[in-house]
Amino acid sequence: MAYKSMEECLADLEENGQLVRIKEEVDPYLEMAAIHLRVYKEQGPALLFENIKGSRFRAASNIFGTLARSRFIFRDTLAQVQQLISLKGDPVKAIKSPFRNAGAAFAALKALPLRNPGSKPALYQQIKIEDIPQIQHWPMDGGAFVTLPQVYTEDIDQPGIMKANLGMYRIQLSGNDYELNTEIGLHYQLHRGIGVHQTKANRKGQPLKVSIFVGGPPSHAVSAVMPLPEGMSEMTFAGVLGGRRFRYAYEDGYCISTDADFVITGEVFPGDNKPEGPFGDHLGYYSLRHPFPLMKVHKVYARKNAIWSFTVVGRPPQEDTSFGQLIHEITGDAIPQEIPGLKEVHAVDAAGVHPLLLAVGNERYTPYMPAKQPAEILTIASHILGTGQLSLAKFLFITADDTNQLTTHNIQHYLEFILQRIHLDRDIHFHTNTTIDTLDYSGTGLNAGSKVIFAAYGEVTRKLATEIPSALQHLQGVQDVKLIMPGVVAFTTNTYTTADAAAEEAEQLNHQLTDHLEALREIPLMIWCDDAAFAAATLNNFLWVAFTRSNPSHDIYGIASFTRYKHWGCNGPLIIDARIKPHHAPAVVTDPGIEKKIDRFFEKGGSLYQKL
């Protein structure tokens, strides 16, 4: 359906049994987020909070909580959007099959944004920041945050909506040193379009005008998180996905989405920063307080009966996982089309997305050579690490499959495929002193860390152990050893103290295991962690622990390791030290008192009783 508003979308969901209204008063301090988390975990309905303590506005969450619900919301446009993206990869298809592609051409007519010339914003009232539901998601958060914002900026050199950027960057509404109602925090990370706009404005010594939209047709929020090619407007994509042109006007020099429920306008001045955070983020840890751009609030608008849209992020999977699934469904092979030789790429949600990337490419460079070894996939890996947000990958596994049967989405099978073929003395390639995801605290500082590529291709070189070898069962200093999956074990020692102590402990392990290389051949990977039983309990636990708590250049060791001609390798198992380090951010955990308090919504008589 071509929803004109968030209200229309929620009414449609309710009519089809996919929304629950919560009529009891609910506290925006931790309660709303806790209810959302519990409902999402059960793959429950969208939620409409109708009675929020301290605010006259309603709020909605879990709108995109399942892929099935997202498909339902965009049921009339999804196929056409997929077709348009497919045509971008091969425009000749439209010429060869004009009637088959007529629907896509018609859908493209919805792409052009529609300006409402000379009209005041359709938003009916001017309000203050404090009137918005002040939702705090996690106990250690620095204040209330906007978690589904559509942040709009224009290119100061090429103004206008067609060169504008719409992105989803979290906004801190209150807390810390912000002056309530006049200042808010604008957090954005590396490789974001808004950074280009702010850099241009800074060079001219001018403030960057920012408009923040919340709510409106659901296609607007999805467009803000879409990884669109540079130069493609998010507003045009919103029109196609929503089946309705993006409507806008200008007020006081600011662009206003006239379909949004809320709009916050303001300016970011060069060099004007304030501490933002902490915030419980999508890696499952808090991002801590750091200086980020300060936005001076100009005006805040709300439409009549406005609905505040929000989500809750934390250790995946969460609602943003479903966002990722929807994006993958929409884009299909769009990213592989951008990188020659790349067949498939998967940013692993369970590992926090950016820390772990799995890829399958072609290997066509040396078909005349009898021995198969990585060549083209190394070129592809370099291209991946130079492409948009893929460049934030910290651990990149890449291989080639001549049978075209391997998929990155069967994660355990993919990793077993790699581990059966990897040459630990040849196939490990480090990038040191580089950038990593802003939210990843495993590195040496904000945005700073390292990367590693595991590029494996060729014949099977080893079987993978399905039992723990005896050589690992009685190690000095090791308290517990567990098998995670074939070829991978977790082990626990003392907690991490310092880098020097870790290096010394690694050398002690090396001393004990160097004489057992043949016995350990079927164990190519060992995860050094604080709780081996937890890491081995589920595949998701392993992925979260191993790849969010380690910095490749500092935390990878190897039994019988060596450095030759600047290349590092090992002749025995690879060890990833995934213990929690003193500089790591704390993990997000729910408040037991709040969990008990929200039980009333799920007990007999509560809005959510028998709804899950």
**What is the DSSP track for 432-469?**
EEEE--TT-TTSSBTTEEEEEEEEE-SS------SS--
139 burial type by CB count under 10 A (0-12 exposed, 13-18 middle, 19+ buried): middle
Q: Mean pLDDT lowest for which of 17-21, 187-191, 394-398, 597-601?
A: 187-191
Q: What is the pLDDT of residues 46-57, one digit of tens each?
A: 999 999 999 999
- Rounded Cα distance between 26 and 58, Å, is 11
pLDDT at residue 231 tops 80: no
Q: What is the pLDDT of residues 561-585, one digit of tens each?
A: 999 999 999 999 999 999 999 999 9
Q: What is the pLDDT of residues 114-166, one digit of tens each?
A: 998 655 556 779 999 999 999 999 999 999 999 999 999 999 999 999 989 99
State residue 109's pLDDT score.
61
Is 351 inside a domain boundary? yes
Q: Are residues 32 and 163 both part of a single domain?
A: yes
Residue 102: pLDDT band (50, 70, 90) is: very low
Q: Are residues 429 and 555 both part of a single domain?
A: no
* Bond preceding residue 278 cis, omega within 30 of 0: yes
Closest CA to 300 of 310, 291, 308: 308
Specify the residue for token string 């965009």.
74
Q: Are residues 278 and 180 both part of a single domain?
A: yes
Count of structural domains, the chain: 3
- Rounded Cα distance between 336 and 329, Å, is 14
Q: For 587, which DSSP code?
A: B
Question: Could you tell me what percent of the chain has a pLDDT over 90?
Answer: 76
Q: Are residues 269 and 120 both part of a single domain?
A: yes
State residue 534's pLDDT score.
98
Neighbours of 404 (CB within 10 A): 8
State residue 194's pLDDT score.
83
Computed over every residue of the chain, the mean pLDDT equals: 91
Q: Are residues 482 and 366 both part of a single domain?
A: no
The overall pTM is greater than 0.75: yes
Ramachandran bin of 112, using left for φ above 0, alpha for ψ from -120 to 50, beta for the remaining angles: beta
pLDDT at residue 108 tops 80: no
Whether 190 contacts 438, CB under 8 Å: yes
Is 115 inside a domain boundary? yes
Phi, psi of 599 (to 5 degrees): -55, -25
Whether 447 contacts 438, CB under 8 Å: yes
By residue count, the chain amounts to: 612
451 Cβ contact list (under 8 Å, min separation 6): 385, 393, 394, 395, 396, 430, 431, 434, 436, 552
Q: Are residues 61 and 181 both part of a single domain?
A: yes
Is 597 inside a domain boundary? no
Residue 493: pLDDT band (50, 70, 90) is: very high
Chain centroid offset of residue 235 CA? 21
Neighbours of 507 (CB within 10 A): 11
Specify the residue for token string 């005006």.
299
Q: Are residues 131 and 188 both part of a single domain?
A: yes
State residue 91's pLDDT score.
40
Burial 197-218 (b: 16+ CB within 10 A, else e): bbeebbeeeebbbbbbbbbbbb
Is 604 inside a domain boundary? no
Which pair of tokens denotes residue 45? Answer: 């309905």
3-state secondary structure of 552: helix
Residue 341: pLDDT band (50, 70, 90) is: very high
Which pair of tokens denotes residue 375? Answer: 């060549």
Can you give the residue range of the structural domain that contains 168? 6-309
Q: What is the pLDDT of residues 205-217, one digit of tens each?
A: 999 999 999 999 9
Is 220 inside a domain boundary? yes
Chain centroid offset of residue 375 CA? 30
- Rounded Cα distance between 376 and 95, Å, is 33
Q: Are residues 293 and 367 both part of a single domain?
A: no
Q: Are residues 397 and 274 both part of a single domain?
A: no
Q: Are residues 149 and 210 both part of a single domain?
A: yes
State residue 195's pLDDT score.
82
pLDDT at residue 92 tops 50: no
Is 370 inside a domain boundary? yes
- Rounded Cα distance between 562 and 559, Å, is 9
* Domain of residue 389, CATH code: 3.40.1670.10
Q: What is the pLDDT of residues 289-312, one digit of tens each?
A: 999 999 999 999 999 999 999 999
Q: Are residues 371 and 485 both part of a single domain?
A: no
The 307-309 sheet, strands edge to edge: 19-22, 46-49, 58-61, 307-309
